[in-house]
Amino acid sequence: MSKLLNKPFKAFSIYALIILACSIPVYHLVVDFIWLNELDEHNQIIEKRIVNSFNNAHIEGNELNGLLKNWDKLQPSTILTPSNLSIPKPDTIYTIIKQNRYIDHNEIDRFRVLSSIIIINGKLYHLQIETNIEEADETMLAIAVVTLLFFVLMVIGFIILNRRIAIQIWRPFRSTLEKLRLFDLTKQQNVLFDKTDIEEFEELNQSLKKLIDKNISVYNQQKMFIENASHELQTPLSVLRSKVDLLLQNRDLTKEQSEIINAIELPLSRVSRINKNLLLLAKIENKQFSEVEHIELTDVINETLDLFIDYVTEKQISTDKNLSEKIALSCNKTLIEILISNLLINSIIHNEVKGKVYIDFSDRKLTVSNSGKKALESKKIFERFIVSSSETASSGLGLAIVKEICYRYQWQITYTFQNNLHSFSVQF
Amino acid sequence: MKILIIEDEKEIARDIVKYLSGQNYVCEVAETYDQAVNKITIFQYDCILLDLLLPDGSGLALLELIKREKRQDGVIIISAKNSIEEMVNGLEIGADDYLAKPFHHSELSARIHSVIRRKQFNSSNIIELNEIMIDLLGKAVKVNNIEVSLTKKELDLLLFFIGNKNRVISKSALAEHLSGDIADMFDNHDFVYAHVKNLKKKLTEAGYENHIKTIYGTGYKWEL
């Protein structure tokens, strides 16, 4: 994944590189053109100076011949020779590449040459002026180096600007993102996004706000529905149970009828159990049970285990406790009792006949393990109504309640399956 | 003995009356707060069953009224599961016991029995029934003056049966009575059978006539 700003940055850099690369020959052409123009002008000025000097000096005959003979020594970059033409011809300008005589080392240089016919004392002379000019490749190289340097500067500038912009401009975006990350539907807190003057972000915030508000309201409605539904179910369930009780009192019951009543009792108690747990979940979610006490966990475990003793013996389960740690927890008494008993109930209901239950409390970590054959789907077991096996008629809410209680106190609950043992651990 | 049932749910009130009437209780029903206030201020009851959620008032206010008048009526709160806090409040105000709905009639009957007993035999704490004598404080049971050693659960069962004479008690009601709320988390209550069997055996061995009848695997009945 690459960051959003890096994408245009890459494109911009490549575009800048292409443009700058294209500019190198263009610069070169322009510089060369200016060079040549300037040198041609320069050569013409020299020519004019020479002609003027001759005309003003009035050098005649032998003196002129002597001067011409030594011309080469006096003016090294010009050649002045008598011309054998009868009429003057227009000036020619060209470039030659040759060995530079005046430099020690062997180097090929480029020269701009003005070849012209001048008139001294009425005679035609051929004047050739050469001026050294920078070679094309050297100019090219210099321009390329400078351009590259600027390109590097530009990229560095881009990176720095990019970072600054990323930090500043994206600040509202980041704050929105952070708020979304921390948002928890079950916590019921409203999300307030920071105001921003960037239109797109403001629009994003508005849309998110709408979405979240809607979600919260749907969630609340759903919660309310479950709560109301289970409330409404309580009375009919009470009536049902009371009718079954009364029916049992009938003296004329046949064996068959009695068995039917018995068969009604089981699903009836399952429904009331589910209802009870749904109400309990709703209450925990609604932040009830807020009173906090100091509670000795080992006491709660021992007391709860005593309550289950009949069920443990009935299933011939052997229990093994290691409750070396004496730690008082600050939490609600009812909730911790529910947590412990749900874990223990779980370890009994889902145990095998003659199975084992291990309870370990050390390093502020409570682990309840029971025998089992196959690992459960650890992601799903804490969800509501995920019943792992069909043989037990559990409510499917026990672990969801455990999870909800852990969530309330920010305790960590984990499930592992090792050595044929299902283990649920709560880190307090 | 007179019992007042303050309960707005007609069906539930009627069923309670039916169940209790079989045990020599005289029951009256008040369906609203006003009816209840009228009855409480005029008559005396041995036990009042109080639903906290009434259509025209709070059951807790009624309880406060009873206590303000320094009345001796025993009070058992019967209310929905979701108002445990209110029930605890009720106990603090002075209710004698509470029972969460839905409950077994047998459980209610046992609680009423125990509340009335506490009110009436404040000092003695001894129950006598034919040849059996139960000392509640010493947790001792004697049959024809011979001590029978019962476990805590067997004693619980015995008291439960005595509180539900001639009524069929379902196995799940017994399980719930012995293990409390958690019983309804389990589907199998066979352990009840073992406890009842032991109790029966110990009592008959001590020479007590067997009053515990098994009803087709559904439950038990203490027949007198």
Task: Give the model's pLDDT for residue A106.
Answer: 66
Return d(Cα A240, Cα A246) in angstroms, integer: 10
What SS3 state is found at A106?
A: coil
Residues A248-261 have a mean pLDDT of 84
Beta carbons of B82 and A249 less than 8 Å apart? no
Reported ipTM: 0.75
B179-192 per-position pLDDT tens digit: 877 777 777 778 88
The percentage of chain A sitting over the pLDDT mark of 70, rounded to a whole number, equals 96
User: Number of C-alpha atoms within 13 angstroms, CB side, residue B68?
Assistant: 9
Residues B205-211 have a mean pLDDT of 84
Return d(Cα A51, Cα A58) in angstroms, integer: 11
Beta carbons of B178 and A261 less than 8 Å apart? no
Q: A391 pLDDT band (50/70/90 cuts)?
A: very low
Beta carbons of B82 and A269 less than 8 Å apart? no
What SS3 state is found at B215?
A: strand
Task: Give the model's pLDDT for residue A386.
Answer: 64
The percentage of chain B sitting over the pLDDT mark of 90, rounded to a whole number, equals 15
- Residue B219's φ and ψ, nearest 5 degrees, are -175, -155
What SS3 state is found at B94?
A: coil
With beta carbons under 8 A apart, name residues in chain B contacting A231.
80, 82
With beta carbons under 8 A apart, name residues in chain B contacting A393.
187
Beta carbons of B182 and A345 less than 8 Å apart? yes
| pTM attached to this predicted model | 0.64
- For residue A312, the chain B residue with the least C-alpha distance is B191
What SS3 state is found at A234?
A: helix
- For residue A247, the chain B residue with the least C-alpha distance is B168
Return d(Cα A157, Cα A17) in angstroms, integer: 14
Distances (CA, A) of A396 to A334, A357, A384: 20, 20, 6
Return d(Cα A193, Cα A206) in angstroms, integer: 9
Mutate: best of A239, A248, A394, partner B, most B CBs <10 A = A248
Q: B216 pLDDT band (50/70/90 cuts)?
A: confident
Q: Is A238 exposed, middle or buried (0-12, 13-18, 19+ CB in 10 A)?
A: buried
Helix (H) or strand (E) holding B48: strand B47-50
Closest to B172 in 3D by CA, of B159, B154, B185, B156: B185
Distance from CA of A379 to the nearest CA of B (A): 24
Number of residues assigned to chain B: 224
Q: Is B119 exposed, middle or buried (0-12, 13-18, 19+ CB in 10 A)?
A: middle
- For residue A238, the chain B residue with the least C-alpha distance is B102
A321-367 per-position pLDDT tens digit: 888 878 888 998 888 988 998 999 889 888 888 999 999 998 889 99
Return d(Cα A43, Cα A39) in angstroms, integer: 6
Beta carbons of B172 and A265 less than 8 Å apart? yes
Instruction: Name the amino acid, one letter, at A362.
Output: S
> What DSSP character marks residue B110?
H
Report long-range pairs for B27-36 (Cβ below 8 Å, ≥24 apart).
B27/B2, B27/B3, B28/B2, B28/B3, B28/B4, B29/B4, B29/B5, B30/B4, B30/B5, B30/B6, B31/B7, B32/B8, B32/B56, B32/B57, B33/B57, B33/B58, B33/B61, B33/B62, B36/B4, B36/B6, B36/B62
> How many CB contacts within 8 angstroms connect chain A with chain B?
120
Residues A175-179 have a mean pLDDT of 89
Beta carbons of A276 and B182 less than 8 Å apart? no
Residues B31-58 have a mean pLDDT of 89
Task: Give the model's pLDDT for residue A101.
Answer: 64
A30-73 per-position pLDDT tens digit: 988 998 899 999 989 988 888 888 888 777 777 777 777 787 77
CB neighbour burial string for A108-142, b if at least 16 within 10 angstroms, e if fewer:
ebbbbbbbbbbebeeebbbbbbbbebeebeebbee
Contacts of A122 (CB under 8 A, 6+ apart): none
With beta carbons under 8 A apart, name residues in chain B contacting A290.
none
With beta carbons under 8 A apart, name residues in chain A contacting B219.
248
Beta carbons of B179 and A310 less than 8 Å apart? yes
Return d(Cα B31, Cα B80) in angstroms, integer: 16
Residues of B with CB under 8 A from a CB of A: 9, 11-12, 15-16, 18-19, 22, 80-82, 84-85, 101-106, 153, 167-168, 170, 172-173, 178-180, 182, 184-188, 190-191, 194-195, 215-219
Q: Is B123 exposed, middle or buried (0-12, 13-18, 19+ CB in 10 A)?
A: exposed
With beta carbons under 8 A apart, name residues in chain B contacting A235.
9, 12, 80, 101
Instruction: Tell how far CA B202 is from the center of its chain.
Output: 24
Return d(Cα A78, Cα B70) in angstroms, integer: 139
What SS3 state is found at B182?
A: helix
Q: Least CB-CB distance to A248: which of B81, B180, B219?
A: B219
Q: A103 pLDDT band (50/70/90 cuts)?
A: low
Report whether pLDDT(A393) > 60: no
Return d(Cα A188, Cα A286) in angstroms, integer: 9
**Residue scoring higher pLDDT (B76 or A69):** B76
Return d(Cα B192, Cα B171) in angstroms, integer: 7
A179-213 per-position pLDDT tens digit: 888 888 777 677 888 888 889 889 999 999 999 99
Residues A308-313 have a mean pLDDT of 86
Distance from CA of A398 to the nearest CA of B (A): 9
Report whether pLDDT(A102) > 70: no
Task: Give the model's pLDDT for residue B33.
Answer: 92
B140-179 per-position pLDDT tens digit: 888 888 888 888 889 888 988 888 888 888 888 888 888 8
With beta carbons under 8 A apart, name residues in chain A contacting B16.
242
- For residue B188, the chain A residue with the least C-alpha distance is A311
Return d(Cα A371, Cα A318) in angstroms, integer: 10
**Average pLDDT of chain A to the nearest whole number:** 84
Return d(Cα B178, Cα A306) in angstroms, integer: 11
Residues B75-85 have a mean pLDDT of 76
Q: Do A281 and B53 form a contact (C-beta atoms < 8 A)?
A: no
Report whether pLDDT(A287) > 80: no
Residues B61-84 have a mean pLDDT of 82
- For residue B178, the chain A residue with the least C-alpha distance is A307
